[in-house]
Amino acid sequence: MAAEGTLRPGGGAAQLALNMKLLGHHELAGFGGVGEGINMQKAKDGRRILWMAHESAPKNFTAVDVTDPRNPKLVVQTDLPHNDVRSNSLDVVGDIMAVAYQTKKWGLKPAGMDLFDISIPEKPKLISHFDTSGPCSRGAHCVFFVDGEYVHLTSGSADFEPTHPKDDQFYRIIDVRNPSKPKPVGHLQYSPPYNGFSHTVLPLIERGYLVVSDECVRDNGEDWPKLTWVVDARVESNLVPIATFPLPPAEVFTKRGGRYGSHNLHENQPGPCSFRSETLIFGTYFNGGVRVFDLSNPLQPKEVGYFVPATPKLAPKGSAQINDVWVDEKRIVYAVDRFGGGLYTLETTF
């Protein structure tokens, strides 16, 4: 195994692995830049369909048949209406898929959320659009949809005026019990005074802890450290950070190219195709790949596995940039690259 952070002769970062094995790889027809949206559908015919939102135009979302994770097959790939919008995030409940739309600038459309009928994966059918565009809105960045009734959005709105142009989203709850007529229910706006880069919160319900990831947003370690925190939430009015996940040396990985630091987590979602654990935590770290931690002792998290792809052929940053991760109930891991690497399917050996 190559040492952590080594480079290949002739340039590009080498593949690294610990207790994880590559099963398959798909470059998604040359459009391998995937955002933060990845979810698995168990289709009525028994196929396992992995849905992925793209990080940027021209593609909207892609579905891949991963029934055989060693041989992923493209099912459908859709286009965005123009190059100034991206989908970036999606979630699936049964045969309904929610997709977020975020524009490059305020005031553009489409901005908000679409709901699709994916009962026939090859032919996703638009059900409705929930518009969050406005003079100070870029639309929706991220969706969280698990119960089939309510979508949780980070989004702007027509009447929202941010205090800072880079802080133009807040938390919204959308009622989709009638998917043809989604309607807002409530929201939480906590900026000002806060303006941080907290990204994902994974509640470990039975244990009373939270795993909270930051998001690295700058290349070459300019915003290091971006960490994954363990928070004691047994008293919800007094949240206490008690540990951070161990990571390989920043002075090595910040030289691999692109971003290095915390980002997304596998979120223990309900459904037949989702792995759920309160001790094994899977996260993504851009050029640090996908990494797995044992949280049996919340005061001393231990790294038990990782997979860092070699530099993809289509990579613009000189390294892989692993953006999001899904783990199925068989503990097969699906990791996606932010730019050109596409989909990686992995098995764990720990």
DSSP string, 297-316: STTS-EEEEEEEPPPPTT-S
Number of domains in the chain: 1
Per-residue pLDDT in tens (0 to 9) along the chain, 350 residues: 444 555 455 567 889 999 999 999 999 999 999 998 899 999 999 999 999 999 999 999 999 999 999 999 999 999 999 999 999 899 999 999 999 999 999 999 999 999 999 999 999 999 999 999 999 999 998 888 988 998 878 888 998 887 767 668 776 778 999 999 998 876 544 344 433 467 788 889 899 998 888 888 889 998 888 888 898 888 777 778 899 999 888 999 999 999 999 999 999 998 899 999 999 999 999 999 999 999 999 999 999 999 999 999 888 989 999 999 999 999 999 999 999 999 999 999 99
Cα 81 from Cα 85, distance rounded (Å): 8
- Tokens 């899977």 sit on residue: 282
Alpha helices for 244-329 (secondary structure H): 250-253
Which residue has 């970062």 as its token pair? Answer: 13
Residue 303 is assigned to a structural domain of this protein: yes
Q: Which of 147, 142, 174 is nearest to 263 (CA)?
A: 142
β-pair partners for 114: 99, 129
Within the chain, what is the greatest distance between any pair of CA atoms? 57
On whether residue 15 sits in a domain, the answer given is no
268 is a domain residue: yes
Q: Are 38 and 333 in contact (CB under 8 A)?
A: no
Whether residue 91 lies inside any domain: the answer is no
Residue 9 lies in a domain: no
Q: Are 336 and 264 in contact (CB under 8 A)?
A: no
Question: What is the reported pTM?
Answer: 0.85
Residue 299 lies in a domain: yes
Residue 185 lies inside a defined structural domain of this protein: no
Contact 229, 244 (CB under 8 A): yes
Whether 304 contacts 349, CB under 8 Å:
no
208 found inside a domain: yes
Using CB atoms within 10 A of its CB, is residue 262 exposed (0-12), middle (13-18) or buried (19+)? buried
Domain, as residue range, for 261: 196-350
